[in-house]
Structure 1
Amino acid sequence: MSAPAPSPLATVVADPAHAPARQDEVLTDAALAFIAALHRRFTPRRDELLARRAERRAEIARTGTLDFLPRTAAVREDPDWRVAPAPAALNDRRVEITGPTDRKMTINALNSGARVWLADFEDASSPTWENVVGGQLNLIDAYERRIDFTSEQGKSYALKPADELATVVMRPRGWHLDERHLTVDGRPVPGALVDFGLYFFHNARRLIDLGKGPYFYLPKTESHLEARLWNDVFVFAQDHLGIPQGSVRATVLIETITAAYEMEEILYELREHASGLNAGRWDYLFSIVKNFRDGGAKFVLPDRNAVTMTAPFMRAYTELLVRTCHKRGAHAIGGMAAFIPSRKDPEVNEVAFQKVKADKDREANDGFDGSWVAHPDLVPVARASFDAVLGDRPHQKDRLREDVHVRAEELIAVDSLEAKPTYEGLRNAVQVGTRYIEAWLRGLGAVAIFNLMEDAATAEISRSQIWQWINAGVVFDNGRKATAELVREVAAEELAAVRAETGPDGFAAGRWEEAHDLLLKVALDEDYADFLTLPAYELLG
Structure 2
Amino acid sequence: MEHGAGRIKMGEIPSLDFVFDVVTEVPVRLELSPSPQGLDEEYGTLFTPASLLFLHQLVSEFDNEVDQVSRLRVSRKAHLDTSGDLPGFSQATSHIRDDPAWKVLPVPPRLQRRHVDVGDMAPCDTRRLIQALQSPAQGLQIDFDDGNCPTFYNQIKGINNVCKVVYNQFPNVPAISQAPVLMLRPRAWNMVEHNMLVNGKEVPGPLFDFGLLMFHCGKALYNSKSGPFFYLSKVESFMEARLWNNIFLWAQQQLGLPRGSIKATVLIENVLATFEMNEILYELREHSAGLNCGIWDYSASFVNKFGHREAFLLPDRSKYVNMEKRFLRSYMDLLVQTCHRRGALATGGMAAPLLPPVRDSHAYQTVLANVTRLKLLEIRAGVDGFMVYDLNLIEPMQKLFQQHTGGDNQLHRVRDDVAVTPEDLVCMPAGGVTLHGLKYNIGVGILFIHAWLSGNGHFFYRGQVEDSATAEISRSQVWQWIRHQAQLEDNKRVVTRAMVVHLTQEVMKELREVTACQTVRAEESLQTAAEMFLEVVLKRNFPEFLTTYLNLDHTFLSSQAMWENVARGALASKL
Say yes or no: TM over 0.5: yes
What residue number does 1:326 align with? 340
Question: Root-mean-square deviation (CA), in Å?
Answer: 1.8
What residue number does 2:16 align with? none
Structure 2 CA distance for partners of 1:509 and 1:299, relative to 1, 3 Å: closer
Identity over aligned pairs, percent:
35
Contact 2:168–2:174 (CA under 8 A) maintained in structure 1: no
CA drift at 1:361: 1.5
- Say which is worse superposed, 380-389 or 175-184, in terms of deviation: 380-389
SS at structure 2 position matched to 1:96 = strand
1:18-37 matches, cutoff 5 A: 21-37=41-57
Contact 1:20–1:133 (CA under 8 A) maintained in structure 2: no
Aligned partners of 2:514 and 2:347: how far apart in 1?
Answer: 39
What residue number does 2:566 align with? none
Contact 2:141–2:184 (CA under 8 A) maintained in structure 1: yes
SS at structure 2 position matched to 1:419 = coil
SS at structure 1 position matched to 2:117 = strand
- Say which is worse superposed, 339-348 or 369-378, in terms of deviation: 339-348
What residue number does 1:462 align with? 474
SS at structure 2 position matched to 1:320 = helix
What residue number does 1:86 align with? 107
SS at structure 2 position matched to 1:333 = strand
Aligned partners of 2:531 and 2:380: how far apart in 1?
Answer: 44
Aligned partners of 2:509 and 2:26: how far apart in 1?
Answer: 52
What residue number does 2:383 align with? 368
- Say which is worse superposed, 465-474 or 101-110, in terms of deviation: 101-110
2:282 corresponds to 1:268:
yes
Q: Which runs of 5 or more structure 2 residues have no equivalent in the other structure?
A: 1-19, 561-575
Aligned partners of 1:206 and 1:262: how far apart in 2?
Answer: 33
- String of CA shifts for 1:420-465, please: whole Å, max 9, x gaps: 1111100000011111210122111121111111111111110000
CA drift at 1:60: 1.8
Aligned partners of 2:85 and 2:478: how far apart in 1?
Answer: 21
Structure 2 CA distance for partners of 1:363 and 1:28, relative to 1, 3 Å: same
Aligned partners of 2:136 and 2:376: how far apart in 1?
Answer: 19
CA drift at 1:89: 1.1
- Say which is worse superposed, 244-253 or 488-497, in terms of deviation: 488-497
What residue number does 2:128 align with? 105
CA drift at 1:51: 1.0
Aligned partners of 1:9 and 1:356: how far apart in 2?
Answer: 51
2:248 corresponds to 1:228:
no
CA drift at 1:116: 1.1
Structure 2 CA distance for partners of 1:28 and 1:379, relative to 1, 3 Å: same
What residue number does 1:66 align with? 87
What residue number does 2:170 align with? 147
Contact 1:136–1:199 (CA under 8 A) maintained in structure 2: yes
Letter in 1 for 2:362: E
**Which one scores higher on RCO, CA 8 angstroms, separation ≥ 6?**
1
SS at structure 1 position matched to 2:510 = helix
Aligned partners of 1:318 and 1:488: how far apart in 2?
Answer: 36
CA drift at 1:373: 0.8
Aligned partners of 1:243 and 1:100: how far apart in 2?
Answer: 27
1:481 to 482, 486, 494: 494
CA drift at 1:321: 0.3
Report the count of equivalent residues. Answer: 526
TM-score normalised to structure 2 length? 0.88
What residue number does 1:13 align with? 33
- String of CA shifts for 1:151-177, please: whole Å, max 9, x gaps: xxxxxxx31465652100100000111
SS at structure 2 position matched to 1:505 = coil
Aligned partners of 1:231 and 1:384: how far apart in 2?
Answer: 35
1:156-195 matches, cutoff 5 A: 158-160=172-174, 164-195=178-209
CA drift at 1:7: 3.8
Letter in 2 for 1:36: H
2:454 corresponds to 1:442:
yes
- Say which is worse superposed, 161-170 or 206-215, in terms of deviation: 161-170
Aligned partners of 1:277 and 1:84: how far apart in 2?
Answer: 14
2:542 to 525, 528, 533: 528
1:286 to 263, 276, 300: 300
Contact 1:9–1:33 (CA under 8 A) maintained in structure 2: no
Aligned partners of 2:439 and 2:259: how far apart in 1?
Answer: 51
What residue number does 2:254 align with? 240
- String of CA shifts for 1:62-96, please: whole Å, max 9, x gaps: 32411011100000001100001010111111111
What residue number does 2:11 align with? none
Structure 2 CA distance for partners of 1:140 and 1:500, relative to 1, 3 Å: closer
Aligned partners of 1:503 and 1:336: how far apart in 2?
Answer: 28
- Say which is worse superposed, 24-33 or 105-114, in terms of deviation: 105-114
2:217 corresponds to 1:209:
no
Structure 2 CA distance for partners of 1:369 and 1:54, relative to 1, 3 Å: same
Contact 2:235–2:267 (CA under 8 A) maintained in structure 1: yes
- String of CA shifts for 1:246-280, please: whole Å, max 9, x gaps: 11000000110000010000000000000100001
What residue number does 1:396 align with? 410
Contact 2:36–2:152 (CA under 8 A) maintained in structure 1: no
Structure 2 CA distance for partners of 1:128 and 1:77, relative to 1, 3 Å: same
CA drift at 1:501: 5.4
SS at structure 2 position matched to 1:216 = strand
What residue number does 1:385 align with? 400
CA drift at 1:419: 2.2
Q: Which runs of 5 or more structure 1 residues have no equivalent in the other structure?
A: 149-157
CA drift at 1:21: 4.6
Structure 2 CA distance for partners of 1:440 and 1:117, relative to 1, 3 Å: same
Aligned partners of 1:391 and 1:234: how far apart in 2?
Answer: 34
Aligned partners of 1:92 and 1:497: how far apart in 2?
Answer: 43
2:150 corresponds to 1:127:
yes
Structure 2 CA distance for partners of 1:42 and 1:305, relative to 1, 3 Å: farther
What residue number does 1:350 align with? 365
SS at structure 2 position matched to 1:244 = coil
- Say which is worse superposed, 342-351 or 498-507, in terms of deviation: 498-507
What residue number does 1:43 align with? 63
Structure 2 CA distance for partners of 1:141 and 1:19, relative to 1, 3 Å: closer
- String of CA shifts for 1:103-126, please: whole Å, max 9, x gaps: 112212222211111100001000
Aligned partners of 1:124 and 1:356: how far apart in 2?
Answer: 20
Aligned partners of 2:306 and 2:268: how far apart in 1?
Answer: 17
- String of CA shifts for 1:376-432, please: whole Å, max 9, x gaps: 111112212211122143x11111101101001110100xx2321111100000011
- String of CA shifts for 1:350-389, please: whole Å, max 9, x gaps: 1010011111211111111111111111111221221112
- String of CA shifts for 1:7-50, please: whole Å, max 9, x gaps: 42642124666655521101111111111111111111111111
TM-score normalised to structure 1 length? 0.94
Contact 2:274–2:331 (CA under 8 A) maintained in structure 1: yes
Contact 1:113–1:164 (CA under 8 A) maintained in structure 2: no
Structure 2 CA distance for partners of 1:375 and 1:507, relative to 1, 3 Å: farther
